[in-house]
Structure 1
Amino acid sequence: MGAPDSATRGAFPAVAVIDGEGVMIGWTRAAEELTGYPAADILGRPVTTLLPPGAAAAAPDRAPGEGDTRAGLVELRRRDGGGIVVRAEIAPLDTARAGESWLVSAIPAADDLSGGTGSLLEALISHFPVAMAIWDRDLRCVWLNAAANYLESVFPHYHLGRRLSDPIPGVDTGAAQDAMRRVIADGTPMIDREARWVSPDGREVRTLSTSLFRLEGLDGQPLGVCSLALDISHSRARDRLALLREASVRIGSTLDIRKTAQELADLAVPVLADYVTVDLSEATLPDTEPLQRLVATEASIPVFRRAGVASVHDGVPESLWPLGEAVFVPPGSPFTEVLATRRPHFEAVLDTSPSSWLSRDPDRARIIHGTGMHTLIIVPLEARGDILGVAVFVRNANPAPFTRDDLVLAEELVARAALSLDNARRYTRERTTALALQRDLLPRDLCGGTAVEVASRYLPSDGREGVGGDWYDAIRLPGARIALVVGDVTGHGINAAATMGRLRTAVRTLSYLELPPDELLAHLDRLVAEDACGDLDVTGATCLYAVYDAATRRCTMAAAGHPPPAVVSPAGEVTFPQLPSGTPIGLGLGSFESYDLHLAAGTVLALYTDGLIETRQADLDAGMSRLGTALAGAVRLPTLESLCSAVVGTIVGDGPAEDDIALLMARTRA
């Protein structure tokens, strides 16, 4: 749609008179300027001359009556072929010469919104924070408010006279065009559609909420569409939802108590607070020195340990205590109140008067005054009925005080963190217990006697599954012989560690019967399978049992579903004998076979569990190849202990072990 000359915008309205037959009988100068038709070319012609093809006549089809006035938007066709949307008012007119007729006045719709008869509406729209634009049926921009100008960098088609289909490098309006055409076609508004915009350099991201409404004329036909766009990139409600979504992903990403506490502090700064601390009780941090051993005074009691801290300021000048240190609080302070009541403490304006609790805590008072803290929230960390500590939220750089909405958000964050902390606490407690049991059940001082030199390593898993049931043993037998054994109980935790201890005891007892390896594994398999109480649940446990006779240099071994040992010759050649694999312990099948080897003096025999060779990225064959390479590269080391350390270091490195690792090495003596 075209627009009238700018000189006519905001001038007098265009006026015309239409008789009862729909013929133009009156025409003003303003009407000529608006449409381009001089009076000589329009008078006596039907009103449809001014309407687009297919549009209904502007004159009503009924006789005028008292007070029968109509107003609305109408699209007119100008003499140059362009179109213009006007706001028209049609009123009945009864004259002696023309009889029944109609008086029509019109002004451009854009003028109606930006001045003239719409001055009150213009004042509202100009200050409206929503970008508004009107587009004709060809999706050409015909009107904008002031707020739309601020979004021109995001939406460059916000420009009078520019079509949405006009190509602009880097701008794709296909989806917007489709949406507008649907609204024009069916009249169904599109409300609050979210769109994301990223600047070409990727440094700026904006989120817009857009809505579309169809504009209709007096005849009900579509004239165009009105678009509304609101920049919600920095909406507080949106920021809060984003923070909670991020909390569900970031907080509790590990089962480490201190990492979880620090994740809460890092997440809340600076979105919610300028300074955050997470202080936990000693029951939540069982590996720290008991707080009761620390010196307490009438004005200061050690209550927590600092587990997480974050600040918008470098160096965290607000913190009196670094991470890991005991946190002292005065009696009758908000901290002890939160612990006693299990309810949060909220101070929109922090009370620092001489009568406040800070008068009994001069160190905190000094920090508060020195750093400008002015608003405070303390929330208890509570999970499954236990108080784990407190989280403290403070503002000093942000001048806005905390609101009740901020308190609700802080409680939401703390509730999520508390559950993660409790899960980490339970996991840590069980893992510590299982690890202590595991280490207590493993042999402390291995001795190979005159037959072999022995060394061993055990590495617990750092994964969520916890300590497993890997074990090893070296059992001296009569006649310069020694039994070497390594095994792996499926599962993790205390039960696996306890089962491992029972299996190790059973193997040691059976070894004193001096049974061949295949018979010993068969007895062990039946013992487990026929357990009357059914409390020795080790289905899937694997084991490798070998007996070396120093007199004959003969080594006899059998496997129960376990990987074969690595044999390193004195020259450094590494081989893996093809043992009959056998079935895992506990199936009751007793399908085991012995395998004989001759080991020269100085040969190294390496027995291991699958945690050393198997990872999520590599199978057993690839792991055995890595083990062979590590053994060949370190076999010249002077001691078996150094060889053991080198092999584990080469394969595992500094990273966490995905599964428990047990490694037993034996070097035959001359």
Structure 2
Amino acid sequence: MVTVSSWLHSPCPALVVDAAGAVHGMNDAAKTLLPQQVSPTRWRHGESVDIAERSYAAHRVDHADGTVTWWLLDETDLRLERERAQLLTRMSSALMTSLNPERCMTVVAELAAEHLADEAVVIAPQSDHGHPVTRCRRGEAPTYDLEHLDVEEVVGLSEALRGFPPVPSRWIDPAVAPDWLARDVVSIVVTPLPGHGVAAGALVLIRRDKQFTEDEEAFARLFASRAGVAISAASLFTQQAEITERLTRDLLPPTLRRHEHVDLAGRYRASGATERVGGDFYDVHQLPGDELFVVLGDVCGKGLDAAVQTGRVRTALHALLQVVTDHDRMLDALNQALLTTDRSRFITTVVGTVRPVDEGLHVKLTSGGHLPALIVRAGGTVEVANTRGTLVGILEKIITTTDEVVLAPGDSCLLYTDGITEAVGGPLGDEEFGEDRLRRALEACGGMPAEALVEHVHMLAARWVGSGTHDDMAVLAITAPRRRSS
């Protein structure tokens, strides 16, 4: 038998058991904790024992007389913290699986309803169409909707939704909670979702049968801090994606509409497989009457920087078109505008005016350092327009050249950038496609509609390059439609 008496007054529960498993004695802490009848025969050293809603690690000490002293070490708080840490890790992993704000709100509501409350409501800051709201009851599927809420009806909610300055959680009296939030509940806590750079919203936790404890509310704040970062990251990503999409849409060449007397088609391909914009561009604008203004150009460089300069050039040309239609004056004004911004971003460009005539189409072309247009006759003859000129945006005074051609029905005028002719590839992978090869290829394209012509040119260049790198490519075809027989 144990003879040391100091264990009797230890704050750690302990009991002495004989070889048959009968309890021979308990210290004061054990008498307070354990019921009258207790059987430690199923206890295992180091394993947890649940007693009176708490968790204890059972540790045995064997004695020479065959008795065993079982010490019960309270590990409830440690076990709870460990479980909560594991839970937060799983929650963080789940929250980071999506960069969609609606999906993030759904995950937050599901996790909160499963682990923190009977029901969870996630409310995002107000948008143009109301507050995005996700609701979830434990064991049920979450719902998402845009709702028109009076957030001032809930104490602390409007402050939480603002995101800054930071505010603490607020305990809400269920008796004064609006019906849109909750009915017939026992406890409500409004916890801010602190975002990262933007307001993420608020998390409302609802219990129907018991109150939240301060410890549970503190854990809810930890969860809310991670949820807020995930939601705000998704919101920022979505905002940036929308901005990028809008800007990209403005920088891309336009979709060409149909015209009664002119058959038009364009193709554009950025230099990188992951890029959508670059330094090549084309535009078509309607002039008074049946005339069209066309422009195709190539900004020095590629990628986003070149695309930004492309946007400036296109905007400048569109503005100049409102006050001047003479090609030489327009290109001179564009040159002066570029000289005042960035001389490292010069361009080559060709502008044209297209108008219907009895013979087909009259096309007037003026070039500022750009490759000459190719005239593809319906019979297969390919002519080179007499247009060259100097670069735009690098010299104080530019030289431009103008040529005028008439396109008979079935004839086409092809404008293109050097991404086509300088495409490197071929059988050995080190040869440029070249202007001569392009002209020879076009001899088989006489009479092609504009759409088929630009598609064929792009296909030729793509095949020549293969899987190799290439520059931006842009092609614009102006075709005189064939007349319908009466």
Give the structure-2-normalised TM-score: 0.49
Q: Which has the higher contact order (CA 8 A, sep 6+)?
A: 2
Give the structure-1-normalised TM-score: 0.38
